[in-house]
Amino acid sequence: MTDKLRIALAQLNPVVGDIAGNLQKAVEARRAASVAGAELIVFTELFLTGYPPEDLVLKPAFQRVAKAAVEDLARQTADGGPAVLIGAPWAEEGKLYNAVLHLDRGEIKGRRYKVHLPNYSVFDEPRVFASGPMPGPFSIRGVRIGAPICEDIWYPDVVECLEESGAELLLVPNGSPYEFNKPDARLQLALSRIRESGLPLAYVNQLGGQDELVFDGGSFVLNADFSLALQMPAWEEKITCTDWTRGEKGWVCAPGEKALVEEGDESLYLAVVQGLRDYVKKNRFPGVVLGLSGGIDSALVAAIAVDALGADKVHCVMLPYRYTSSESLTDAEACAKLLGVRYDVVPIEEPVAGFTSALEKMFEGTQSGVTEENLQSRTRGVVLMAISNKFGSMLLTTGNKSEVSAGYATIYGDMNGGFNPIKDLYKSRVFKLSNWRNTHMPKGCLGPEGRVIPERIITRPPSAELRPDQKDEDSLPPYEVMDDILHCLIEEEMSVTDIVARGHDRDLVKRIEHLLYISEYKRRQAAPGVKVTKRNFGRDRRYPIVNGFRDQDL
């Protein structure tokens, strides 16, 4: 039995499927922990495969490679250095488990399996994993350590079982995605488990972007007296050593770093930057290209891209037509200069005329309208995709959640692209983040300090500029009104009656509901984007395309 233990918490950024790379990252982290005198290092949920692996984990070859990586890492612990707690899938008796494994002295000393498999929101783990039995603690270097996996602390039973079977402290490996204001929810959850069990708890969370999900880290340690012993930073890879001492009342973690965890608009901005950065880098794109229209959405996306990747990896293109205003031309160029990016102008008058000419006979006698407007957007999409194909840069799409919700976007036009950093941000939030970025320099970002979006881009009334003097509010209600209605319909699933009770016009609510439902087919074909709200399109909200239901407001 020992009365002191140094535990390293590894808050790192794995890549789903890159088992060899994740193994190497674990080896290097363990080496650093050993140099720092740690006796145990704890990694996050399914670290060796990356999280979430989705159906990839069902592939037998993938399972074999993951198991071999665990065995390789176990052999390396024969050097007498730190023991390891690491997440990996584990197959046993025809079942596949989400496991945490104890590696030490050259062996796999023990395995524990996740009991509660989440099957809501972005999670569908019962699809790929079997639920494990109630776990007991590991015996690690003379200490009985419970390791409930992520969702297992959202319910009291697993921690209760660990406490009753002799656990002395809890180390919790997590793959908990970012969501606006979620850090406080995690803290309150951990406090509930401590209150019930009387055990101190270390919460170790993954960092990094994985497709639409982004993980913020923000790992922390709470003592049994509810005091915060350690707060690791969000949005940073880090290995932190914690010093534990056994006293009369159990194990206590010595006070350590108390990093400030970003909140509000700052956390949202860092989330979309992290999500874009990892999507581009993990998919090995050399950079990105986007259409810079002189409007606020593309300006914010350009700023996010520069902050994520650096100005040298961002290419902005203005694609003017006869309805493009002089203000848009001036503002787009000014924005590109502020950001320091490559900026090109490719007029689309000739290609649009070519399409119009080709269709002239077929369209003869019809009224000019949305079809002709969409030709402009689709021409821009073709040009931008050609640039992407030619130079290898990924095309970013720039539609906000308000537009994506209402279908105020052209499929195969401005919806073209491989990723959308602002897909889960309502238009009103786009304005807030643009103002925020102009007055703040986010940590870890690569863009310039000071103003990055010209003031006129923020203050001018939004317009698609597909016809003379067009304004968004010609087709849509004011964004602050529309966004509240959409939030009620999407995030809260409120009835029309309840939304009207908030002060909204009933006919407008019904109209927005109708637009939301009939645009589902567009969203199915939209680029992925960073999830930051509690209900994004895609992983969270899975509505049918063929849908005859409408709220009857009874």
Question: What are the binding residues for deamido-NAD(+)?
Answer: 374, 403, 522
N-term to C-term CA, the chain: 67
- How far is it between the farthest Cα atoms of the chain? 90
Q: At what angle do helices 326-339 and 296-309 cross, to 10 degrees?
A: 10
Beta bridge partners of 342: 315
* Marked catalytic residue, from 25, 39, 114, 316: 114
Rounded to an integer, what distance in angstroms lies between the CA atom of residue 343 and that of residue 44? 41
Tell me, yes or no, if 114 is annotated catalytic.
Answer: yes
- Residue located via tokens 């065995």: 71
Task: Classify residue 305 by burial, with Cβ atoms within 10 Å: 0-12, 13-18, 19+.
Answer: buried
What DSSP designation does 419 have? B
Query: Which of the residues 45, 262, 266, 513 is marked catalytic?
Result: 45
d(CA 107, CA 62): 22
Cα separation of 11 and 239, whole Å? 6
Closest CA to 239 of 28, 90, 554, 5: 28
Give the length of the chain: 554
In 371-522, where do the E strands start and end? 394-395
- Look up 45 and say whether it is catalytic: yes
- Which residue type, as a one-letter code, is found at position 438? N
**Cβ–Cβ < 8 Å for 290, 265:** no
Quick check: is 316 catalytic?
A: no
The alpha-carbon radius of gyration of the chain (Å, integer) is 26
Residue 350: name the closest of 324, 319, 386 by CA: 319
Q: What is the spatial distance between Cα 397 and Cα 414, in angstroms, rounded to a whole number?
A: 7
The annotated binding site for ATP is made up of: 291-298, 398
Q: Catalytic pick from 25, 39, 150, 266?
A: 150
Residues that constitute the known binding site = 120, 176, 182, 291-298, 374, 398, 403, 522
At 78, phi and psi to the nearest 5? -70, -10
Among all residues, which ones are annotated catalytic? 45, 114, 150
